[in-house]
Amino acid sequence: MRLPIRLTIAIGVSAVLLFGGAGAWQLQREERDLEGVARSEALLLGRALQTAFKNALRDRQLEDVAETLDALEHVDPAFAIFVFDENATLVGASLGAAPSDQTHDLARRAREYGEPLVEFAPSTNPELLRIGLRLREESPASASAIVLEKPLLELRRDISTTRRDILLTVLFFVVAVAGLAWALTRKYVGAPLATLLARMRLVRAGKLEPLEYSASDDEVGDAQREFSELVKELEVAQRRIEQELESRQRLERGLRDADKLITLGQLSAVLAHEIGSPLQVVEGRARSMLKRADPETVQRVVPLIVEQTERITRIVQQMLSMTRRKPPSRQWVDAAKATDSVVALLKLEARSQNVKLISTTKGDTTVWADGDQLQQVVLNLVRNALQAAPPETVVTVTLERVGDEVVLEVSDQGAGVPEGQQDKLFEPFFTTRSAVGGTGLGLCVVRSIVLEHHGNVSFVPRDAGTLVRVTLPTKHEHS
C-alpha cells in the first residue's frame, strides 16, 4: 500500500475517533440537557397543580379539579394528569388519559415518600416522563397525590435531529481532513519520494545523474539532498574505479607482454638444442649419403632424415601456435559439439593403437569461448592420452556442467605422470616422451588457451593412469 494512502487512512481513522468521540459526548450532553428541561417543566407544572388541587381536594371541590384539568388540556395537551384522593381513588384525569399500573404505583409511592418523584421510562432512550407529588401534608395513610405523565416524542425527535446533525458534521470533517491529508501527503511526501525512488532505479541501472530536489526544510528534503550527495560521491568513485581498472589493464597487458618476452627468451635458449639435435642428425646422414650413395644406404638413411625433418616441423609449428596465436574470438559455443568433433577425428587413430576411446556428456555445456581454440585444447589432451595409453585400454573423455562451470576431463590408463613432474609438464619443451618425438609444447599451449578463457587446467592425482581436468566458466567474462 502506498504511503499517501496509508497516511490518509491513519489520519481518517484518527479523525473518526476524535470527532466521533466528541460527537458522542456532545450527543449525551444534549440528551441530558433536554431531559433536564423536560423534568424542570414537569416539576414546575406539578408544583403549580399541587398548590391548586390541595385545597380543592381538602374541601372536596372536585368540580374545580375537573375545570382545571380541562383548562390545562387546552394549554398543554401533551401532559396526562391524574389526581388521586386519600383513598387512592382516581378523582380526576385529563381528557382521554387512562392510568396504568405504573401510574397507580407512582401515586402510592409519592403519598408515602412526600418528595416529588421523577421517573423516565424506560431508563435508556426514555419515551415517557412521570412525576408524582403528594398533595396534602397529612400522614401518608390519608394523603392525596397527583401524577403527571408526558410522552417524550418531541424530545426523541430533537435528539434524533441532533444525532443526525452530529453524524453529518463528523462525516464532513472526516472527509475534509482525509482529503486534505491525501493532497498534502501526496504533494509533500508521495511525489518527492516517487522522484527519489525513480532516481534510485536509474542509479541502480548505472545512470549516475544528479537529482533535482525540492528545497523543503524537512526530512524528505534532507533525504533528497543526502541522496544527491551520495550520487555525486558514487560518480566520483565510479570514475576512480574506471581509471584504476584502466591502469590495471595496462599493467596486465604490460605483464603479459613481459611474460611473452621472457617465454620467447626461454624458447630461444631451448630452440637451439631442440632443433639443433635433429639438424645434426640430418646433416650427418646426408653427408653419409654423399659418401656412400648406394641404394642400401639410401633406404636406411632417408627414413631417418624424414623423421627428424618432421620433428623439426612439429616444433616450429607448435612454437608458432604458441607465440603467434590470435586473441580468442569468443561466442556462445556448445563444448559438447567441439569435443565430439575431435573425438570423431581421433577414433581411427585410437583403433589403430587398439585403444577404446569413449566420450560422455552431462547437462548444458554451453560456454563463452573460441570454438577453434577449444577444439585445439581437446585435440592436444586426447592425443596425449592416446599416446600414453597401452593397447587394449580405455581413454575416457567426460564433459559436464558443474555449477557455473563446464568441466572437461581426459583420462587414460597409461603409466601416469611421475611425482613432482606434473607442474613441469606445462613448461615449454618439457616432455616425458622425448624418445618418441614429444616436443613439450602441447600442454603449454593448452594452459595458455585455458587461462585466456579465465579457466583452469590441472592434473588430478590418481593411483593409475593420468587424469587432466579443465574447467571453463559458463558466465560471460570480460577479457
Supply the DSSP symbol for 435: G
What percentage of the chain exceeds 90 in pLDDT? 9
Instruction: Give bridge partners of residue 366 from the DSSP assignment.
Output: 334
Say how many C-beta atoms besides its own lie within 10 A of residue 71's C-beta: 9
Tell the burial category of 223 from Cβ atoms under 10 Å away from its Cβ (0-12, 13-18, 19+): middle
Average pLDDT over residues 156-176: 80
Is the pLDDT reported for residue 131 higher than 70?
yes
pLDDT at 263: 58
Identify whether 156 is part of a domain.
yes
**DSSP H/E element including 38:** helix 3-58
CA–CA distances in Å: residue 459 to residues 321, 443, 469: 23, 11, 6
Average pLDDT over residues 412-417: 82
Q: Flag the least confident range among 64-68, 188-192, 433-437.
A: 433-437
Identify whether 184 is part of a domain.
no
Identify whether 241 is part of a domain.
no
Identify whether 414 is part of a domain.
yes
d(CA 248, CA 149): 105
Q: How confident is the model at residue 471 (pLDDT cuts 50, 70, 90)?
A: very high
d(CA 91, CA 179): 65
- pTM for the model stands at 0.37
Identify whether 231 is part of a domain.
no
The domain that holds 469 is classified in CATH as: 3.30.565.10
Contact between residue 470 and residue 457 where contact means Cβ atoms under 8 Å apart:
yes
The domain that holds 131 is classified in CATH as: 3.30.450.20
Q: How confident is the model at residue 463 (pLDDT cuts 50, 70, 90)?
A: confident
Contact between residue 107 and residue 133 where contact means Cβ atoms under 8 Å apart:
no
Q: Report how many domains make up the chain.
A: 2
Average pLDDT over residues 115-124: 81
pLDDT at 436: 45
Q: How confident is the model at residue 170 (pLDDT cuts 50, 70, 90)?
A: confident
Is the pLDDT reported for residue 354 higher than 90?
yes
Residue 60 falls in which region: left (phi positive, over 0), alpha (psi -120 to 50) or beta: left
Tell me the residue range of the domain where 114 lies: 27-160
Q: How confident is the model at residue 292 (pLDDT cuts 50, 70, 90)?
A: low
Identify whether 427 is part of a domain.
yes
Which cell numbers in the block locate residue 100? 396504568
Q: How big is the chain by its Cα radius of gyration, in Å?
A: 57
Domain end: 134, 160, 186, which one? Answer: 160
Is the pLDDT reported for residue 333 higher than 60?
yes
Average pLDDT over residues 175-199: 75
Which cell numbers in the block locate residue 406? 563446464
Identify whether 132 is part of a domain.
yes
User: C-alpha 208: how far from its chain's center?
Assistant: 23
Closest listed residue to residue 171, CA positions, set 28, 12, 7, 6: 12
pLDDT at 149: 85
Sign of torsion, CA 165 166 168 173? positive
pLDDT at 444: 78
Is the pLDDT reported for residue 155 higher than 50?
yes
Is the pLDDT reported for residue 438 higher than 70?
no
Q: How confident is the model at residue 441 (pLDDT cuts 50, 70, 90)?
A: low
Identify whether 462 is part of a domain.
yes
SS3 79: coil
Domain end: 135, 160, 185, which one? Answer: 160
Work out the mean pLDDT of the chain and round it to a whole number.
Answer: 75
Tell the burial category of 416 from Cβ atoms under 10 Å away from its Cβ (0-12, 13-18, 19+): middle
Domain end: 141, 160, 179, which one? Answer: 160
Contact between residue 412 and residue 392 where contact means Cβ atoms under 8 Å apart:
no
pLDDT at 253: 67
Q: How confident is the model at residue 479 (pLDDT cuts 50, 70, 90)?
A: very low
Ranked by mean pLDDT, the top range of 2-11, 75-84, 209-218, 246-255 is 75-84
Q: How confident is the model at residue 437 (pLDDT cuts 50, 70, 90)?
A: very low
CA–CA distances in Å: residue 457 to residues 324, 346, 440, 470, 471: 21, 22, 16, 4, 7
Say how many C-beta atoms besides its own lie within 10 A of residue 318's C-beta: 19
pLDDT digits (tens, 9 = 90+) for 56-115: 666 667 777 777 777 777 666 778 888 887 777 888 888 778 888 888 888 888 888 777
d(CA 140, CA 110): 9
